[in-house]
Amino acid sequence: MNNEITPAVVYGTNGFTFEYAGGRLSRRPVPLPVPPPPSAGPVNSAENVEKMAVAGKAIAAALSAAQTAVQQGERSTLALEELAQAVLAQHGCKPSFQGYQPPFSTEPYAFATCISVNAEVVHGMPSAAKILAEGDIVTVDLGANFEGWHADAAISFGVGPINSAANNLLVTTKNALKEGVKKARVGHTIGDVSRAVYEYSIRHGFRPALGLTGHFIGQSVHMDPSVPNVPPHPLAYDMPLVAGMTFCIEPMLCIGSAEVDVDADRWTIRTKDGGLSAHFEHTVHVEPKGAPARVLTRTA
């Protein structure tokens, strides 16, 4: 067989590319290993979406509180965990991550938050020993549920003054999420969301961490299908968005190489080259035709 695929192009089992060669898609028809079209993503009742919105508000409040605490001098990641726990409790919500065993792990997670610093991309753990320093960039990622209905969000921010490259990374990641959210409406597909995130990121000089995606969400935190940060293969099934769908869009961008490794703790995912990484995430609800997405985890 004539192998036309450059080695840099790796296709995921769901038909989404992991990476484009040189950040560009080959329009050459490439035979896919017959991916089954995924079943349509779950659609939620208005009543249950309101429960997710309660969780989303609590998360937004907790993330804002964590950022404010750091601005006011808090440097303990364990203190941020405790703060997030307290804010969720005030809102009558429960942490989603604590005690949850995600599909990629062999044991349940111990905390409400994931706190990832600098080269840590996602799933870093809060700890009394993990103390923030001036110039760091930190990501706080938090899931919560109200009456069993979940939301999930993340923000990244600088600890004190940060250099301009780090600041560009933060701004680009936040804006890439915005671009994705704009596409989360009837008439578009999951692939349109992915493409918007990817193209904005690449255009601004940063690449999405390989192999990490967003996800549908509802009665559990991680639901199928996934919401990649890279566009789908042109021949792959691409799911149209339907009002009532709820999912998490979460660009995780790298300043250097997009390759990642898992730490010995088997949770923390960090960039292979030690370069900085940033992560912003919202839980969105697809509104009826003609309306933009409702962001359930909007801060302020």
Residues forming the site for Co ion (CB under 5 A): 152, 248
Gap between the Cα atoms of 195 and 289, Å rounded: 21
Helix, strand or coil for residue 214?
strand
Query: Applying CB under 6 A, does 141 fall inside the site for ligand MF3?
Result: yes
Nearest to 97 by CA among 36, 38, 48, 55: 55
CB of residue 289 to ligand MF3, shortest distance in Å? 28
97 binds, among Co ion, ligand MF3, none (CB under 5 to 8 A by kind): ligand MF3
List helix spans (H) across 183-260: 190-203
109 binds, among Co ion, ligand MF3, none (CB under 5 to 8 A by kind): ligand MF3
Query: Applying CB under 6 A, does 211 fall inside the site for ligand MF3?
Result: no
Nearest to 169 by CA among 219, 116, 120, 205: 205
Find out whether 276 and 286 touch, Cβ atoms under 8 Å.
no
Peptide bond into 225 cis (omega under 30): yes
CB of residue 86 to Co ion, shortest distance in Å? 22
Find out whether 250 and 214 touch, Cβ atoms under 8 Å.
yes
CB of residue 163 to ligand MF3, shortest distance in Å? 27
Gap between the Cα atoms of 218 and 199, Å rounded: 28
Query: Applying CB under 6 A, does 102 fall inside the site for ligand MF3?
Result: yes
CB of residue 23 to ligand MF3, shortest distance in Å? 24
Span near ligand MF3 by CB under 6 A; candidates 95-103, 200-208, 231-239, 270-278 = 95-103
Closest to ligand MF3 by CB, 143 or 232: 143
* Tokens encoding 228: 């990649």
CB of residue 283 to ligand MF3, shortest distance in Å? 10
CB of residue 70 to ligand MF3, shortest distance in Å? 19
Q: Strand 246-249 and strand 10-11: pairing?
A: unpaired
> Backbone dihedral region of 267: left (phi > 0), alpha (psi from -120 to 50 degrees) or beta?
alpha
Nearest to 208 by CA among 227, 183, 188, 189: 227
Query: Applying CB under 6 A, does 97 fall inside the site for ligand MF3?
Result: yes
Binding-site member from 109, 149, 198, 200 for ligand MF3 (CB under 6 A): 109
Closest to Co ion by CB, 9 or 52: 52
Query: Applying CB under 6 A, does 100 fall inside the site for ligand MF3?
Result: yes
CB of residue 9 to ligand MF3, shortest distance in Å? 25
Q: Which residues from 148-207 bind ligand MF3, rule CB under 6 A?
A: 152
Q: Which residues bind ligand MF3 (CB under 6 A)?
A: 97, 100, 102, 109, 114, 122-123, 141, 143, 152
